[in-house]
Amino acid sequence: MTTIWFIGIAIAVYRVRQSRLQRKTTVVTKTQLNHAADMISVLLLSGMTTPQALQQLHHYLDEPSRTVFQDCSQLLSCGSRFHDVVRQLSSTFGSPAFALCEALLASERDGIAVGPLLERLSAVTRQQRRQELDAAARQLPVRMSIPLVTCVLPSFVLLGVVPLFVGSLGGLDAHM
């Protein structure tokens, strides 16, 4: 019976770790895509076209997203269409990159100025990130209550209450 409990606990711990890893990966992806959007807008403001900015973007990013954008740069330099490269980028990053890819495609397809689109996208993602951080800060007291209950309160009882109790029991033996 205890082996079944241990197996159940091990499965629960494994699932919690996997969900935390997935959540952390999603946050890293969103953060790096925000940096990529900001960097594309800077490159576009420097006078580059959208495909040129996408080709130069990998020089300014951190490693997990650098390789993806470097692959996009290589595809563009080998003659692939910009539309196909952006669609591949969208499929690689998934839903967090949808707005960025659509803004890039709209700028190339319709001739819309992508700078204001990227600025608006950056402002929205910063606001969402700020709200997520506020929600995480509100959850902090709940998360800190578990270490408080399991570590601090038992040590207080062992170091503060037990010696007083033992001392009072010793005082009772002297009176008897």
Please give the share of the chain, as a percent, with pLDDT higher than 70: 91
What is the C-alpha separation between 67 and 51, in angstroms, rounded?
A: 17
Length of the chain: 176
Residue 21 has pLDDT above 70, yes or no: no
25-36, pLDDT tens digit by residue? 555 577 888 888
The string of DSSP letters for the chain reads -HHHHHHHHHHHHHHHHHHHHHHHHHHHHHHHHHHHHHHHHHHHHTT--HHHHHHHGGGGS-HHHHHHHHHHHHHHHTT--HHHHHHHHHHHH-GGGHHHHHHHHHHHHH---HHHHHHHHHHHHHHHHHHHHHHHHHHHHHHHHHHIIIIIHHHHIIIIIHHHHHHHHHHHHHH-
Cα(99)–Cα(121) distance, integer angstroms? 7
Instruction: Judge whether residue 24 has pLDDT over 80.
Output: no
pLDDT at 8 over 60: yes
| Domains with residue ranges and CATH for the chain | 2-142 (1.20.81.30)
Distance CA 88, CA 23 (A): 23
Model confidence over 51-70: pLDDT tens digits? 888 888 888 888 778 888 88
The predicted model scores a pTM of 0.60
- Look at residue 146 in the predicted model and tell me its pLDDT: 84
Task: Report the pLDDT value the prediction gives residue 25, as an integer from 0 to 100.
Answer: 52
Q: Cα–Cα distance between 54 and 48 in angstroms, integer?
A: 9
**Residue range 124-164, pLDDT digits in tens:** 888 988 998 899 899 988 888 888 788 888 888 888 888 88
Kindly report which listed range (19-33, 43-57, 61-75, 105-119) carries the lowest average pLDDT score. 19-33
- Alpha-carbon gap, residue 44 to 54, rounded angstroms: 9
